[in-house]
Amino acid sequence: MKQDQKALGRESWRVFFAGVGGQGTLLASRVLGEAALLVGVHVVVSEIHGMAQRGGVVESAVLLGKIESPTISDGEADVLLGFEPLETLRAVRKCNEESLVISNTSPLVPFTIASSSSSNYPDIEEMMSMVARRVGRLITLDALELARNAGSELTANMVLLGALLRHGDLPFDRQAIERVLTMKTKKSFLEMNLKAFELGFQQQ
């Protein structure tokens, strides 16, 4: 099952994950990393998270293939996977004019905005337009709604992972992710996670 990376036309992939605590951002990055290991692709996974238990910013990076640094500096991301629209906009600094951005459009309003009478959550369409102007390609999807269709809002991370495997041009196919989910997911949640992954994978 080992992949020929050179045959894919490139030797490294930098995927940046951005979300907030409770969205399963770190789990998604770990599943991607384990899928890489499964097919023999060198991988480094790093995590940066602050007040995750309070809905704070959570960022992680998955670097695949021939890499020299374990981090993704500004402008270096090949793919940005945004779990929350405002966090997608915040993290677009990691992208360049050729980057692919896949973003959830369902907001998780930060506590500081939800509790303030003077602050409003930014317009999502406007934010996505700002992102689109700075990157090569933007794909948006309502991951929360698709997760509900799969059976639980908690599977939104698997929806986004499915979209990543569909569009990310990664050095392995969806079967690697499905094998990791089958090995690591509790039996009672497996079918729901696989369905969520499939719904994400179907997104154009």
pLDDT one-digit tens code per residue, 87-132: 999 999 999 999 999 999 999 876 655 666 656 889 999 999 999 9
Lowest mean pLDDT: which of 39-43, 53-57, 150-154?
A: 53-57
Helix axes 25-38, 174-184, angle to 10 degrees: 110
pLDDT one-digit tens code per residue, 15-39: 999 998 888 999 999 999 999 999 9
* Selected residue with higher pLDDT from 177 and 54: 177
Q: How far apart are CA 114 and CA 108, in angstroms?
A: 10
pLDDT at 6 over 80: no
Q: How far apart are CA 116 and CA 200, in angstroms?
A: 34
Q: How far apart are CA 127 and CA 146, in angstroms?
A: 21
Q: What pLDDT is stored for residue 2 in this prediction?
A: 47
Q: How far apart are CA 47 and CA 26, in angstroms?
A: 7
Share of residues in the chain with pLDDT > 70 (%): 87
Q: What pLDDT is stored for residue 1 in this prediction?
A: 44
Q: What pLDDT is stored for residue 69 in this prediction?
A: 83
Mean pLDDT, range 70-89, rounded to an integer: 95
Q: Torsion angle of alpha carbons 61, 186, 190, 161, nearest 10°? A: 0
* Selected residue with higher pLDDT from 45 and 110: 45
